[in-house]
Amino acid sequence: MAAKTLTIDGHLVSARPGETLLEAIREAGITIPTLCHLDGLSDVGACRLCLVEIEGQRRLQPACMTMVSEGMVVHTNTPRLQAYRRQIIELLFAERNHVCSVCVASGHCELQRLAGMVGMDHVRYEYLSPDCPVDISHMRFGIDHNRCVLCTRCVRACDEIEGVHTWDVAGRGVDARVITDMNQPWGTSTTCTSCGKCQLACPTGAIFPRGVTVGERPLASERIALIVEARKQRW
Amino acid sequence: MSRLRIATIWLGGCSGCHMSLLDLDEWLIELATRADLVYSPIADAKRFPPDVDLTLIEGAIANDEHLELAHTARRHSKIIVSFGDCAVTGNVTALRNPLGPAQNVLQQVYIEHGDPGGVIPHDPGIVPVLLDKVVPVHHVIPVDYYLPGCPPSAPRIRALLEALIEGREPAADIRYG
């Protein structure tokens, strides 16, 4: 099939048919913020950070869930998008208890990096300060719901890469939580293989190896894509 | 050029941001040639003075004394900077918020996890009264600039101070934790 030609931020770009707009934007050398997207996993369009403006369409579209099409004219960094992206990050910080200074992921955290990227010098909303549990019933890993942004990368890594689906999401709105098996302590899960892919996929310090302290959990989420690639190539 | 009047205040925080300020070492001497430190935990001044050009606020708003001092600082300062993560987000000081209102927090700390026979301190006028929720500085007074960090490093403090002293807009510098 013929390549699609589209315009991204004023530049003519050609893309393969079936490619997502996010892939085309990245191939054009343009950086836009993402959070729920992780190379190697399917996309869900949950975080809304990669929203872009497409001329002729009234609504903003998530670049990760939009396929390229011929003649598309896309804007990735308008003042409106910048304002929404900052708002999204502020709301994430306001919804749970994100305290970088005591977090295992500090310095390697995608949420922390995004705050700088979108210019969040403070949060304009009231902090909800919910009472969130920390589950360290698993022998090797822990989950601190205070730091979870519900990106569902753990859910998808567990389901799509490990093929287990220990993780899922329960509850609605601000009460939504990632859960293991039938919403039971992680350590009692009968499906978990302790592979640690959820921990690799986690963009924040929500899922962490036990025994690490402030700033000690490096971000290694690119290993998910590496595993996928290795399986394709039968390394 | 007249000398700048600078103040720093220490609210609900660990004083780490002030330690980081002291970490500016010899640059503090240079700063002293251009500005006076008119009120600070590291200066001998009992009352927050009028006509302050620039006030750095370390710490979150956690009790009635913090609230009053923040309002006083705002009334008497041209520029207010939220200085460090506690001032900007609540940070560690706000970790108590999920425990609920002040009375619940005191009950947990002094009675449930305290020594046997512990009592909740209650000396209004002597011991500041805790607010029910710890909030960042900008939730109670308008703030002009934000310098997150736990603590912000000395070079980052210097970059902000230099810009403000020279009347320039400080470059965006956002790093939490």
* pLDDT-flagged residues of chain B (< 70): 1
Domain residue spans of chain B: 4-97+133-165
Q: Which residues contact B94 (CB under 8 A, 6 or more apart)?
A: A97, A99, A127, A129, B60, B86, B134, B135, B136
A221 and A105: one domain? yes
Q: Tell me whether residues B98 and A116 touch, CB distance under 8 A.
A: no
Using a CB–CB cutoff of 8 Å, tell me whether B94 touches chain A.
yes
As for the ipTM of the complex, it is 0.94
Give me the number of domains chain A comprises: 2
A32 and A114: one domain? no
| Structural domain includes residue A64 | yes
CATH classification code of B4-97+133-165 = 3.40.50.700
Cβ atoms of residues A44 and A149 within 8 Å: no
| CATH code for the domain of A208 | 3.30.70.20
Digit-coded pLDDT (tens) for A156-183: 999 999 999 999 999 999 999 999 999 9
Measured at the CA of A22, the angle between CA A21 and CA A28, to 5 degrees, comes to: 90
| Structural domain includes residue A61 | yes
In this prediction, residue A32 carries a pLDDT of 98
In this prediction, residue B115 carries a pLDDT of 79
Query: Which residue range forms the structural domain that includes residue A51?
Result: 4-77
**Which residues of A lie closer than 8 Å to B, measured between beta carbons?**
93, 97, 99-103, 106-107, 112, 115-116, 119-123, 126-127, 129-132, 215
Helix (H) or strand (E) holding B18: helix B16-22
Digit-coded pLDDT (tens) for A19-66: 999 999 999 999 999 999 999 999 999 999 999 999 999 999 999 999
